[in-house]
Structure 1
């Protein structure tokens, strides 16, 4: 394992990165996406199964790292309330999934917008004892 938190997180498997993402997003109260110069968000269509998804990251640093070499993409924050109120219904309506925390060569956790919202709300609510 590396001493660099960025490298460490990218070396995790998909499920570990998903958990890391949930904790980081709940702590910071924002989700990061990549947008181009026209403010259009990055959407990726998987070559394997044709699933279209919005990639999201827990911080600007991870989004920037993913975008390096792509030229016109820059990170943009979405507040958690905004994500819940506007993005989840919009992505669901458009039939887009969410690709949580892509990066490195590891697998990617792809989930439905409502499922991610539910998982985030569960973490926000705190541990239930």
Structure 2
């Protein structure tokens, strides 16, 4: 698990563009071997893009926690190990035809990709490690 980020670090990283946030997420997920989602009593929370139903994922607990407000005030951040992501989440999201929104910022902007794309990129980076 990574050390807690300061408020200044969180605010600075939130300003990254979509590609920078994607690269940051990949680096953090490889380093910490986990990624973060939000859950509520119904399961994993979802966002909707114009074309896709998406599961948002974050690189650190602090970024997921920033989304726990307003309509999502009853949600809680949940870590998913990289191994569990590969064995259960990625195939399950593919089967359910769901996309992933990578590290959405507070303006609800984030790169939308498919589970196999995230898995492929993570496995590629793991090999380089």
TM-score (norm 2): 0.88
Report deviation, 1:106: 6.8
Alpha carbons of 1:43 and 1:107: their partners in 2 closer, same or farther (altered >3 Å)? closer
- Show the counterpart of 1:35: 39
Report deviation, 1:66: 1.9
Q: For the residues of structure 2 that align with 1:6 and 1:122, how far apart are their CA atoms?
A: 27
Paired residue total: 122
Among 67, 89, 92, the residue aligned to 1:90: 92
Cα RMSD after superposing both structures: 1.5
Structure 2 residue runs of 5 or longer lacking an equivalent are: 1-6
Report deviation, 1:68: 2.8
Q: Which whole-Å deviations, capped at 9, do the CAs of 1:46-69 have from their partners, x for residues lacking one? A: 2xx231000000011100012233
- Show the counterpart of 2:126: 124
- Show the counterpart of 1:23: 27
Structure 1 residue runs of 5 or longer lacking an equivalent are: none
- Worse-matched range after superposition: 54-63 or 101-110: 101-110
